[in-house]
Structure 1
């Protein structure tokens, strides 16, 4: 078992003051994999104190110095890419080839986009033509960064890199399910020469370290990615200290497939749902299909789901791995059973593990057809490889069903009709809309509306999350 019991504070790895032991279970084998210490209140206070002491110097550092640090971190990433991928694969079950191709490289992809955006920032600029009026951009201060287990490197990059570039000092608390990847990132920052105290890492759970960090009077901002339930709790915990809170939460994306969509639209949508074992907040888990092609789409979805291989994370190849832990497996199983009980048509997958696997938190790639609005599988973020399909007759009906959700992260449109694409892009109530399989551009903001939170992470918007705007007259 790997031992990672120390925290990174003020440029050194140190022992806990008042923490407690925690063991991470390998989701592929159900065996003990990593031993860590969950931070207690004194540990959190010590990390915040280190960040506070480092803030004055880093906040006024030449922007070129901050940029140079991130460039050195990228150099370290290139040396440690496989270490990062292996850590992610072990802790949360991403298949190793997927971790190498998608999970780990998301760190460098975001960092490069942030550097491009950073070069266009005017830190002190005139306010239009208003004589003597200036606008200054300044770091928020000490920030608490709370990241999830499903895309560990991705979310650490989306918070740590812009905070560094903005001139903030920080305390990172990753999910207790994903401690190894955060340790690799801390080592990268240390070896890149990050000034002591600018970046600090503690391990901890949400109820303990997360709550303490969120309510800490000397933390000016909390940036959180995770469940909507936890985001609500963090908002309440942060309220008394008036700190800035940015939340990137869950989703229940709709994928609107029209009869004129390209021939691979359905397959593409199903694969997106199954990727990362369904554990992506932007997965298009509700597929709305225009009625003339509905039954053909259901058959395509069945075939794709049944062809999706499931195997342990350490096996090479194109397959999905387990879900993250026993609790998540039980959550997914319960919703699959609920879908059956509520009368959805099960066309692929179903309850239980795949037949060839007798241990590990593996889920059968599952497709439900004839789902009705209001069913549990249509309303709830399942966070597993489960797709819900339903027919529609008109564009207006599809838009109404798509928007009838508590969430508002990402929606998808598949149609050859340009006018329809434009109407739906503006009518869908979500922070992001992707159409015809085209990925969002480099540096595009990631974030949602409603119960998906209202953060905007990535590119220029992601850096601005960590900046205060100061208005100055009489310059």
Structure 2
């Protein structure tokens, strides 16, 4: 097994020190490419959560009043540490998630480093005031935050919560997924080395039903930010409701890609397939419903087949797609593939059988379904695997109706002749973000969904707003 520094995975990071859990058990972290145990990570308890919250609450008394310039400098020091330990971060994500290391670097690590610096330079916003008539509007940090992050983009979501919280002057307790917790340990070491005051950042790994539920319900936590499934997000919101804390959620998706009749079909289909297959399909924004003009449908199916069958699998430098994150996730995806066949969809390529030459590891073939109707489970439910569904449409009104016929509203895509001609279609789609003609993710812009894909936003200026309370000061006239 490749070592990642000398991580203290049997410890919790609370109040600026590595300490033992008050009774937690060890949980194995599995390399999904080899099925071997990478290490064991301690699982926090309710008492551990209480200790971390108490530390954060005490630290908040001082941290909230720290000058923005000091928070900015500390956050740049964290970003410097991330640069210095970039390989450790790549290894931590790649080994536990299964994403090939050469892809992990640009997909999982480069962006979070940028985002840490982005929010460092926005800490000064907290000291700005606005005039509204005879009133002043002040910005204050929301308080003590509980963060619950997912396994599929673990560092991305860590920074998407921790960075704006630090910039705003909040304190926090971070709970990573049990599947991919290692980058959080690297980040805890970086944060500690940067000199962030004790109690501002606390790391308590553990299970969702124990640590996650405790963070959501804790009376001394002012805000909980959750990324994960819609089902789990509902439970978080229920747990948080009695304390009337702020809740932000980035949840599931079943996102459409509308390819217009005047689009470059080959470019659109290739990009759409690769969007689904990257990270082994474990992307909440994946455009898993490809809507194609009926007159170009069979041509699109043939292109998708060619792309899927050309995907290199493994974890080497030539691989595009690694394994699924766990044996459980592999079984879920295989179950959906079998369900799609039983529902009457046409299996163009792929399937639930083990890929040739990859008997070890949790691999699933890149899979393409055609003749999919929007009432099928594979078109309505989030599969979270390398499975794309091609759906024909007759005109743009039907395409929009199909695109919006979903309980989700996280992401979407339009590929048209050009960006200008795509915009009328973009405006009709019910989703929090839209990728036009292959546009890339932008950390400067807000990220989040509508409907059952969640509420609130991460990244961009809106991501900082989530951690701000506004105070109106009424001055004498």
1:186 is matched with which residue: 185, 188, 196?
Answer: 188
1:150/1:280 contact within 8 Å kept = yes
CA offsets 1:290-320 (integer angstroms, 9 cap, x no match): 1121111110000000000111x3x222321
Residues 225-240 of structure 1 aligned to structure 2 (within 5 Å): 225-240=227-242
Aligned length: 470
1:156/1:418 CA distance change after superposition, 3 Å: closer
Cα RMSD between the aligned structures?
1.4
Superposed, 1:135-174 pairs within 5 Å as 135-174=137-176
TM-score, normalised relative to structure 2: 0.96
Match of 1:21 among 23, 26, 35: 26
Aligned to 1:287: 290
CA distance in 2 between partners of 1:21 and 1:441 (Å): 37
Query: Which residue in 2 is equivalent to 1:32?
Result: 37
Distance 1:439 1:78 in 2: 22
Cross-structure match for 1:48: 53
Task: Work out which of the residue numbers 118, 133, 136 in structure 2 matches 1:134.
Answer: 136
Distance 1:173 1:181 in 2: 12
One of 123, 144, 148 as aligned partner of 2:127: 123
Contact 2:217/2:240, CA 8 A, preserved across alignment: yes
> Partners in 1 of 2:312 and 2:355 — Cα distance?
10
Q: How big is the shift at 1:413?
A: 0.5
Matched with 1:404 is 405
Tell me which moved more, 16-25 or 68-77.
Answer: 16-25
**TM-score (normalizing by structure 1):** 0.96
Partner of 2:222: 220
Give the direction of change, closer, same or farther, for the CA distance of 1:383–1:273 in structure 2 (3 Å limit). Answer: same
Alignment of 1:349-428 (within 5 A): 349-416=350-417, 420-428=421-429
Give the drift of 1:118.
Answer: 4.1
Deviations 1:193-238 (A, max 9, x none): 1111100001101001100111000000001111111100000011
* 1:89–1:96 contact (8 Å) kept in structure 2: yes
| Paired position in structure 2 for 1:110 | 115
Unaligned runs of 5+ in 1: none
Q: Give the deviation of 1:122 after TM superposition.
A: 5.7
Structure 1 Cα separation of the partners of residues 128 and 439 of structure 2: 36
Q: Would you say the 8 A contact 1:113–1:458 is kept in 2?
A: no
Q: Secondary structure at the match of 1:410?
A: coil
CA contact (8 A) 1:117 1:443 kept: no
| Residue segments in structure 2 that go unaligned for 5+ positions in a row | none
In structure 2, the residue matched to 1:329 is 330
**Kept after mapping to 1: 8 A contact 2:270/2:304:** yes
Distance 1:419 1:32 in 2: 50
The aligned residue for residue 319 of structure 1 is 320
Give 1:280 deviation, angstroms. 0.4
- Cα deviations by residue, 1:418-464 (Å, 9 ceiling, x for unpaired): 66522222111010111111225441000000111012000211111
